[in-house]
């Protein structure tokens, strides 16, 4: 940066004075006329103030302390248009540009004029190289110290600058505001989502209520239609009965009258509303003989329909029987046919030895071998296969087998044994009971009474019967004998299986 005015004059005077004192006027002219030597000479201006204000000096009047220092050091800048420190009204961009310039300060100041040795005075090339190396190291050190001085100046100013504090507070406030804005936006978003979810739930609830209301209305309509149809059917049936009764059921003797009455009741049970209406209309618009022909024709159609249904049921039963026989094929006795007596005995054994009995299926097979009248020996595998096949039977066939077993048991014993707690699938859905079966509660009361009144109790059975409501003395005694027989049979079958197992071992 060239010197102007008083500064240039002062430098010239200083250089001239130095050379005058040394007696070398030619050297003064040579230094001041050469730009490189003149810059080197200006770099070590002894009148320049190199001091740096401390942080404590600028607490109260920052701008008054640091502004002249930066302006003074601006003379060393290689770049023109050095930014000013400014004041409290300076913008953030201006302050940022100022500190960016000074943190990256490019100084032309150099210290070659302070070299201790001149390489031209060296006697040889090696000595010149050594002097040059020493001079470069000294200049670099002084340049580093100069840059550290500038950096210290900028650091002190930055740390004391009130505008920096203001900008940081504004930035902090801005970030806090942005953070609050984000939190508020997130809260509003969550509220909007919650409102939307509530609206969806409310819409779903209303839709469900509407659907339920529609279903309820449909059910009410269906119920009303059913009641109307039921009343209409009842009316048509009554009309049919009245018409037939007025015509004495189209017969002149009592036997035919009773038979026709049964057939008319069959029509009332089987015919639909439309058929009943058609029949009643035909009876209303015809004579007695024509009405009889219409009724007889309808009876024949109903009887034919019943016959077909019966044949279909029998066919299904036969098919189920064949399927059960095929599925029961195995080894030994399983391949033989199972008579009705053996089937009933198997059902009884399954109920007698419930699930959980030790070696259950071996015990059942042994029980059947002891009590079967056919003489066919069954194995555990045979009874398992047959039990599974019976579980797959058609319900009509199950009912038929259970009914036969029930009739036979009533014929032999007159009472029905209490069913165990075995699962329904293992009892073939249970066997039909008599009109007065022993319930679980009655069984518990009987067992408790037997414990309460031992054998030596006077009038024991009267007291036991009194402890079981709804049961007589005779019922309790029969039930007790039956239980004793069942327990003995179970023990015998189980002991035989155990003995057979021990023999095998």
CA 298 to chain centre: 61
Tell me what pLDDT residue 275 has: 86
Measured CA to CA, the distance from residue 157 to residue 58 in angstroms comes to 8
pLDDT (0 to 100) of residue 102: 84
* DSSP classification of residue 285: T
Work out the mean pLDDT of the chain and round it to a whole number. Answer: 76
Contact between residue 89 and residue 121 where contact means Cβ atoms under 8 Å apart: no
pLDDT single digits (tens) 383-419: 888 888 777 665 555 566 666 655 655 555 444 444 4
Strand pairing partners for 77? Answer: 107
pLDDT of residue 126: 73
User: For residue range 49-63, what is the model confidence (pLDDT) as tens digits?
Assistant: 777 887 777 777 888
The pLDDT of residue 114: 62
Output the six-digit token pair for 52: 């740096």
Sign of the alpha-carbon torsion through 451, 455, 460, 465: positive
Read off the pLDDT of residues 148-175 as tens digits, 9 standing for 90 and up. 888 888 888 888 888 888 888 889 999 9
- For residue 215, what pLDDT band results from cuts at 50, 70 and 90? very high
Overall average pLDDT of the 342-350 stretch: 81
Instruction: Give me the mean pLDDT over the 273-294 stretch.
Output: 85
Nearest CA to 39 out of 94, 96, 1 is that of 1
Report the pLDDT value the prediction gives residue 376, as an integer from 0 to 100.
Answer: 81
- In this prediction, residue 33 carries a pLDDT of 60
At 170, list the tokens: 């504004």
Q: How many other CB atoms are there within 10 angstroms of residue 450's CB atom? A: 16
pLDDT tier at 495, thresholds 50, 70, 90: confident
Report how far residue 133's alpha carbon sits from residue 499's, in angstroms, rounded to the nearest whole number. 119
pLDDT, tens digit, 9 for 90 and up, residues 415-446: 444 444 333 333 333 333 344 678 888 888 88
In what helix (H) or strand (E) does residue 428 lie, and over which residues does it extend?
Answer: none
Q: State pLDDT tens for residues 185-194.
A: 999 999 999 9
Q: What does DSSP assign to residue 334?
A: G
Percent of the chain whose predicted confidence (pLDDT) is above 90: 10
More confident residue, 385 or 184: 184
d(C-alpha 272, C-alpha 262), whole Å: 18
State the pLDDT at residue 152: 84
CB neighbours (10 Å) of residue 314? 11
- Count other Cβ atoms within 10 Å, centred on residue 416: 19
- CA distance linking residue 185 with residue 191, whole number of Å: 10
Tell me how far apart the alpha carbons of residues 293 and 305 are, in angstroms, rounded to a whole number.
18
The whole-angstrom separation of Cα 319 and Cα 329 is 16
Single out the residue of 8, 134, 22, 152 nearest to residue 75, CA to CA.
8
In this prediction, residues 375-379 reach a mean pLDDT of 81
Q: Token digits for 69?
A: 């220092």
Give the phi and the psi of residue 149 in degrees, each rounded to 5: -65, -45
| Element containing residue 155 per DSSP (H, E) | helix 125-160
Burial state string for 62-94 with b = 16 or more CB within 10 A and e = fewer than 16:
bbebbbebbeebbbbbeeeebbebbeeebeeee
Q: What is the pLDDT of residue 324?
A: 61
pLDDT value at residue 202: 93
CA separation, residue 381 to residues 347, 369, 498, 501 (Å): 16, 14, 18, 16
DSSP character at residue 107: B
CA 74 to chain centre: 73
Contacts of 103 (CB under 8 A, 6+ apart): 151, 154
Using a 10 angstrom Cβ sphere, with 0-12 exposed, 13-18 middle and 19 or more buried, the burial of residue 250 is: middle
* More confident position, 214 or 15: 214
Among 197-206, 225-234, 273-282, 357-366, top mean pLDDT goes to 197-206
15 Cβ partners below 8 Å, 6+ apart? 28, 31, 32, 41
More confident residue, 33 or 109: 109
User: Which residues are bridge partners to 107 per DSSP?
Assistant: 77
What is the model's pLDDT at position 13? 45
Please report which helix (H) or strand (E) contains residue 386, including its range.
helix 380-391
Exposed, middle or buried: residue 167 (CB in 10 Å: 0-12, 13-18, 19+)?
A: middle
Six token digits for residue 28: 């003064």
pLDDT band, very low/low/confident/very high, at 8 (cuts 50, 70, 90): very low
| C-alpha span between 279 and 291 (Å, rounded) | 9
């Amino acid at each position: 940066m060239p010197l102007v005015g008083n500064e240039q004059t002062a430098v010239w005077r200083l250089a001239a004075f130095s050379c005058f004192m040394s007696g070398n006027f030619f050297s003064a002219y040579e230094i001041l006329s050469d730009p490189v030597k003149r810059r080197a000479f200006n770099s070590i201006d002894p009148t320049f103030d190199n001091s740096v204000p401390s942080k404590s000096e600028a607490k109260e009047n920052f701008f008054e302390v640091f502004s002249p220092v930066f302006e003074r050091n601006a003379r060393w800048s290689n770049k023109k248009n050095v930014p000013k420190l400014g004041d409290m009204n300076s913008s953030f961009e201006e302050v940022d540009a100022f500190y960016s310039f000074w943190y990256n300060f490019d100084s032309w100041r150099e210290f070659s004029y302070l070299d201790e040795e001149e390489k031209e005075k060296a006697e040889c090339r090696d000595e010149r190289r050594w002097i040059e190396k020493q001079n470069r190291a000294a200049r670099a050190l002084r340049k580093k110290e100069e840059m550290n001085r500038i950096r210290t100046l900028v650091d002190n100013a930055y740390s004391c600058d009130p505008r920096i504090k203001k900008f940081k507070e504004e930035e902090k406030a801005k970030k806090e505001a942005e953070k609050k804005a984000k939190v508020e936006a997130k809260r509003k978003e969550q509220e909007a989502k919650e409102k939307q979810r509530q609206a969806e739930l409310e819409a779903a609830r209303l839709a469900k209520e509407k659907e339920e209301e529609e279903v309820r209305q449909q059910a009410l309509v269906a119920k009303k239609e059913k009641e109307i149809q039921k009343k209409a059917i009842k009316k048509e049936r009554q009309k049919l009965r009245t018409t037939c009764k007025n015509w004495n059921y189209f017969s002149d003797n009592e036997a035919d009258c009773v038979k026709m009455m049964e057939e008319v009741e069959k029509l009332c049970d089987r015919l639909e509303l439309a058929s009943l209406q058609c029949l009643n209309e035909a009876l209303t618009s015809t004579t007695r003989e024509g009405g009889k022909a219409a009724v007889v024709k309808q009876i024949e159609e109903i009887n034919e329909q019943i016959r077909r249904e019966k044949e279909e049921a029998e066919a299904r039963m036969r098919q189920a029987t064949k399927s059960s026989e095929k599925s029961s094929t195995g080894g030994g006795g399983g391949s033989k046919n199972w008579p009705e007596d053996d089937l009933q005995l198997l059902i009884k054994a399954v109920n007698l030895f419930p699930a959980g009995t030790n070696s259950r299926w071996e015990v059942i097979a042994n029980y059947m071998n002891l009590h079967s009248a056919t003489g066919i020996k069954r194995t555990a595998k045979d009874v398992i296969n047959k039990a599974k096949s019976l579980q797959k039977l058609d319900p009509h066939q199950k009912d038929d087998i259970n009914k036969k077993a029930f009739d036979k048991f009533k014929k032999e014993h007159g009472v029905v044994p209490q069913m165990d707690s075995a699962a329904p699938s293992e009892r073939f859905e249970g066997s039909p009971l008599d009109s007065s079966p022993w319930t679980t509660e009655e069984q518990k009361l009987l067992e408790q009474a037997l414990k309460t009144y031992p054998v030596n109790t006077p009038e024991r059975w009267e007291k036991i019967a009194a402890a079981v409501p709804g049961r007589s003395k005779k019922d309790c005694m029969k039930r007790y004998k039956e239980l004793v027989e069942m327990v003995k049979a179970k023990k015998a079958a189980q002991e035989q299986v155990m003995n057979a197992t021990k023999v095998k071992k």
